[in-house]
């Protein structure tokens, strides 16, 4: 029974009890009088008393109300107060809570609070001591995890690790960028990814194709292969071609005694002679991905060139052969012979031009096969400046570079070429100051300029420098060869208006994944945590969702900012923020945050609350674009919000317009707080956060509120489990019994 009901029951019972006692006293007095007074006198007494019964009833009521008020005061002091203190003390038991109870109430209550605070301080000190000891003991393991995270982050190849259900439990940054490039939908929001911890790889990969490859790996394992792999090529929905290599993640096989890792002494057979399968069971699989779309297109184009050249050359040779035969016969008149000779020369010249064209295109493809790296333009120029100043002895300045501009180059060769040119400018023309600038060129090219003033140079000298060898690695390359290696060019130019002279390298610009990486670089994020080996233990297909334990579920905790509080009256969403909670951990690195153009005005009174000005949403994607992206982000998870009925109403009103329905279960931290702490006076998000000692940062921003709500959820789950509420179904059932579940929007 909840706090208000208990208080009301106490007051009513006290008032009724007082009334019953008074009536009982009157009845007893009547019987006593009847025993000692004559009947005539008793009748006269009752006749005199009956007109005054309303006054008697009023007296009963006046006595009952003070009794009820006294009962209420006693209830608040001795029942509700200890109940609140109990709930606050239970909140201190949640992981990560480091705070003390307020010293309020009676002297006894303050004494209890002080004792609990003392125990909490001792517990915190003990916890810190244990954490220090655990940290010291696990330092080696943590170093290995950090090395793994660093290795996975810096690998040039995309790596994804999945459990047997196809749920992603590890991936590196390159894989994240690779999956962004595979997405056919526009990236509307940070975090609207095809990839994410706990998400299914089958949102991109064909389940049957993966199952077939995994079956082949199992078969080779059973035949005794040490490191079996499977390779296949798949075409994604976005039209990208992926070359995939699959390797198994093997579990530890228990022996007959149940101890993992022991091989036993039976040699592969029981005493009965029956063969024992010693193949360790699989825990999951590793996918190494390579996008070969461009490579395949180049090979296809080369094949088309060869076939067309063979066809054209064969036809041309046949025509030339026919003309030669007619000339050799000598039967033609001179004018005809001249015409045949001219036609033969034209055919030969056309074949020569065609061969040069094909050779040039083949050369472009050959240079494109040289291993090139993708680097930020600003970072490359910083390195070039340091090398020029250190080796060439020339002062070097850099013009401002667009941070989104990336290069795809052989960095060592280009640095050597620039350094050699700077040194020759100093030695042969006395140049002491140069400047480097980088700007976007035509098509997919960038212009890298080495600029100087003074030190006049002729075009002939520049051409000589272009052909002179420079040291670049093991081979002696020329500046021209460095440019050709990049399928680019080297130019000598003059800006007569500003009296500047400069060399220009035309180099390839990095596309797609490097530009996506530049966006992450600009946001200044540190390396995110993209691994969780505990997910090997999860299985999304073994139990119905309602019967799953809360600690095992994947949650999408979200919040919306809106133009107002009346979704049915035309108020609109102006921001959606969300974060994932997976395997009992908050995944800050996989957040979702997007402003939304409401296509209506934002009331001035609401701006101080959420801080979103009209100009901030102008030109942003509309809700019919954002909601499908959020729907994909929240797929296969349980939705969680604080006062979820409000946010869900906004989503439900847009189902028809956007074509997406949120049919997954929903949990409300407001209702769960009322279940766990029924005696607390407030279940506002700030009040709950204060009880749990959660720092509130970014309140009334969608992502900020979602992060606080996720922290609250993680602290509520252990309290609910202590109350016997373990599964999603039990939590939803208990939440619906609270008073707040009756609110509607």
Longest Cα–Cα distance in the chain: 171
Tokens 């997406």, located at residue? 660
- Residue 502, CA distances (Å) to 418, 450, 498 in order: 12, 5, 12
Nearest to 646 by CA among 563, 567, 574: 567
Tokens of 479: 């500046």
Q: Who's near 496: CB < 8 A, 6+ residues apart? A: none
- Cross-strand partners of 549: 727
User: What is the arithmetic mean of pLDDT over 448-457?
Assistant: 86
**pLDDT at position 85 over 80:** no
Summarised one tens digit per residue, pLDDT across range 87-138 is 776 776 666 666 677 777 667 777 777 777 777 777 777 777 887 777 777 6
**pLDDT at position 54 over 80:** no
Q: What pLDDT band is residue 518 in, cutting at 50, 70 and 90?
A: very low
- The pLDDT value given to residue 525: 38
For 38-79, give the DSSP string. Answer: -HHHHHHHHHHHGGGHHHHHHHHHHHHHHHHHHHHHHHIIII
CB contact at 8 A, 140 and 174 = no
Give dist(CA 325, CA 328) in Å, integer.
Answer: 5
Mean pLDDT across the chain: 77
Tokens of 99: 């705070």
Tokens 């949990």, located at residue? 667
**Residue 312: in which H helix or E strand, if any?**
helix 293-329
**pLDDT at position 2 over 50:** no
Q: Identify the residue with better confidence: 533 or 691.
A: 691
Sheet strand arrangement including 241-250 = 168-171, 158-163, 282-291, 241-250, 230-235
Q: Identify the residue with better confidence: 46 or 264.
A: 46
**pLDDT at position 533 over 60:** no
Verify whether residue 700 is a known catalytic residue. Answer: yes
Highest mean predicted confidence (pLDDT) among 121-135, 366-380, 511-525? 121-135
Q: Who's near 13: CB < 8 A, 6+ residues apart? A: 71
Share of residues in the chain with pLDDT > 90 (%): 18
User: What is the arithmetic mean of pLDDT over 420-442?
Assistant: 90
Q: Buried b vs exposed e over 328-365: b needs ≥16 C-beta within 10 Å?
A: eeeeeeeeeeeebeeebeebeeebeeeeeebeeeeeee
Compute the chain's Rg from CA coordinates.
Answer: 40
CATH number of 373-511: 3.30.565.10
DSSP structure class, residue 565:
S
- Residue 439, CA distances (Å) to 212, 378, 408, 510 in order: 49, 11, 14, 13
**pLDDT at position 453 over 60:** yes
CB contact at 8 A, 581 and 640 = yes
Nearest to 287 by CA among 184, 185, 167, 182: 167
Give dist(CA 256, CA 226) in Å, integer.
Answer: 23
Q: Who's near 594: CB < 8 A, 6+ residues apart? A: 188, 189, 190, 192, 575, 576, 577, 620, 621, 626, 629, 630
Nearest to 689 by CA among 228, 96, 198: 96
Taking the C-alpha atoms of 691, 708, 526 and 638 in order, what is their torsion angle to the nearest 10 degrees?
120
**pLDDT at position 211 over 60:** yes
CB contact at 8 A, 60 and 19 = yes
Architecture of domain 543-742: 2-Layer Sandwich (3.30)
Q: What is the pTM of this model?
A: 0.57
Tokens of 585: 């951990």
**pLDDT at position 641 over 50:** yes
For 139-168, give the DSSP string. Answer: HHHHHHHHHHHHHHHH-SSEEEEEETT-BE
- The pLDDT value given to residue 666: 92
Q: What pLDDT band is residue 481 in, cutting at 50, 70 and 90?
A: confident
Least confidently predicted of 11-20, 97-106, 261-270: 261-270
**pLDDT at position 736 over 80:** yes
Tokens of 81: 């107060």
- The pLDDT value given to residue 198: 80
**pLDDT at position 187 over 80:** no
- The pLDDT value given to residue 241: 79
Give dist(CA 238, CA 242) in Å, integer.
Answer: 11
Please provide the distance, in angstroms rounded to a whole number, between the alpha carbons at the two ends of the chain: 27
Q: What pLDDT band is residue 268 in, cutting at 50, 70 and 90?
A: very low
**pLDDT at position 463 over 50:** yes
Catalytic position from the list 270, 610, 615, 700: 700
Q: Domain 155-251+280-291 belongs to what topology?
A: Beta-Lactamase (3.30.450)
Give dist(CA 169, CA 582) in Å, integer.
Answer: 10
**pLDDT at position 255 over 50:** no
CA of residue 282 relative to chain centroid, distance: 27
Nearest to 204 by CA among 195, 192, 215, 213: 195
What are the sequence ranges of the domains in the chain? 1-90, 93-137, 155-251+280-291, 296-368, 373-511, 543-742
């Amino acid at each position: 029974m909840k706090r208000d009901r208990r208080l009301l029951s106490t007051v009513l019972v006290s008032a009724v009890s007082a009334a019953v006692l008074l009536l009982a006293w009157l009845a007893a007095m009547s019987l006593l009088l009847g025993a000692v007074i004559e009947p005539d006198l008793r009748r006269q007494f009752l006749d005199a008393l009956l007109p005054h019964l309303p006054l008697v009833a009023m007296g009963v009521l006046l006595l009952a109300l003070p009794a009820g008020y006294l009962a209420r005061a006693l209830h608040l002091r001795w029942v509700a107060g200890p109940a609140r203190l109990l709930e606050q003390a239970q909140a201190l038991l949640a992981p990560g809570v480091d705070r003390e109870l307020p010293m309020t109430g009676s002297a006894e209550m303050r004494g209890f609070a002080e004792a609990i605070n003392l125990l909490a301080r001792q517990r915190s000190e003990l916890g810190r001591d244990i954490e220090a000891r655990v940290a010291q003991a696990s330092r080696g393991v943590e170093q290995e995890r950090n090395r793994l995270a660093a290795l996975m982050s810096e690998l040039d190849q995309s790596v994804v690790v999945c459990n047997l259900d196809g749920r992603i439990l590890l991936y590196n940054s390159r894989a994240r960028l690779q999956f962004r490039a595979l997405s056919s939908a526009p990236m509307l929001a940070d975090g609207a990814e095809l990839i994410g911890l706990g998400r299914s790889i089958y949102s991109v990969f064909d389940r049957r194709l993966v199952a077939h490859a995994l079956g082949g790996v199992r078969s080779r394992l059973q035949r005794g292969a040490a490191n079996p792999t499977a390779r296949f090529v798949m075409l994604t929905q976005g039209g990208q071609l992926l070359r995939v290599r699959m390797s198994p993640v093997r579990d530890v096989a228990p022996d007959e005694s149940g101890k993992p890792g022991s091989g036993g002494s039976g040699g592969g057979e029981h005493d009965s002679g029956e063969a024992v399968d010693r193949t360790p069971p699989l825990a999951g699989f590793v996918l190494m991905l390579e996008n070969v779309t461009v490579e395949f297109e180049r090979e296809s184009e080369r094949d088309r060139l060869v076939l067309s050249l063979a066809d054209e050359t064969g036809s041309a040779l046949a025509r030339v052969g026919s003309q030669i035969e007619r000339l050799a016969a000598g039967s033609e008149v001179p004018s005809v012979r001249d015409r045949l000779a001219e036609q033969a020369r034209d055919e030969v010249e056309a074949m020569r031009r065609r061969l040069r064209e094909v050779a040039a295109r083949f050369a472009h493809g050959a240079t494109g096969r040289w291993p090139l790296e993708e680097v930020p333009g600003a970072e490359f120029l910083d390195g070039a400046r340091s090398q020029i100043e250190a080796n060439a002895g020339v002062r070097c300045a850099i013009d401002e570079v667009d941070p989104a501009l990336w290069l795809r180059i052989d960095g060592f060769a280009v640095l050597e070429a620039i350094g050699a040119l700077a040194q020759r400018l100093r030695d042969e023309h006395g140049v002491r100051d140069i400047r480097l600038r980088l700007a976007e060129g035509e098509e997919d090219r960038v212009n890298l300029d080495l600029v100087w003033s003074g030190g006049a140079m002729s075009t002939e000298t520049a051409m000589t420098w272009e052909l002179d060898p420079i040291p670049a690695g093991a081979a002696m390359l020329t500046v021209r060869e460095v440019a050709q290696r990049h399928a680019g060019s080297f130019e000598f130019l003059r800006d007569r208006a500003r009296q500047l002279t400069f060399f220009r390298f035309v180099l390839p610009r990095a596309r797609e994944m490097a530009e996506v990486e530049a966006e992450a670089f600009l946001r200044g994020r540190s390396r995110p945590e993209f691994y969780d080996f505990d997910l090997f233990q999860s299985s999304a297909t073994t139990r119905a969702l309602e019967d799953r334990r809360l600690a095992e579920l994947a949650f999408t905790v979200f919040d919306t900012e809106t133009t107002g509080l009346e979704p049915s009256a035309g108020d609109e969403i102006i921001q959606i923020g969300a974060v994932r909670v997976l395997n009992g951990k908050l995944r800050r690195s996989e957040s979702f945050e997007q402003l939304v153009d409401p296509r209506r005005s934002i009331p001035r009174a609401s701006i101080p609350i959420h801080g979103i000005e009209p100009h901030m949403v102008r030109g942003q994607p509309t809700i019919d674009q954002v909601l499908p992206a959020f729907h994909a982000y929240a797929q296969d998870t349980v939705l969680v919000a604080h006062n979820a009925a409000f946010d869900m109403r906004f989503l439900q009103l847009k189902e028809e317009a956007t074509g997406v329905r949120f049919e997954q279960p929903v949990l409300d931290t407001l209702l769960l707080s009322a279940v766990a702490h029924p005696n607390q006076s407030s279940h506002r998000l700030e009040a709950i956060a204060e009880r749990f000692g959660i720092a509130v940062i970014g309140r009334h921003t969608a992502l900020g509120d979602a992060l606080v709500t996720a922290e609250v959820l993680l602290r509520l789950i252990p309290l609910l489990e202590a109350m016997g509420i373990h599964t999603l179904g039990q939590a939803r059932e208990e939440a619906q019994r609270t008073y707040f579940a009756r609110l509607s929007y």
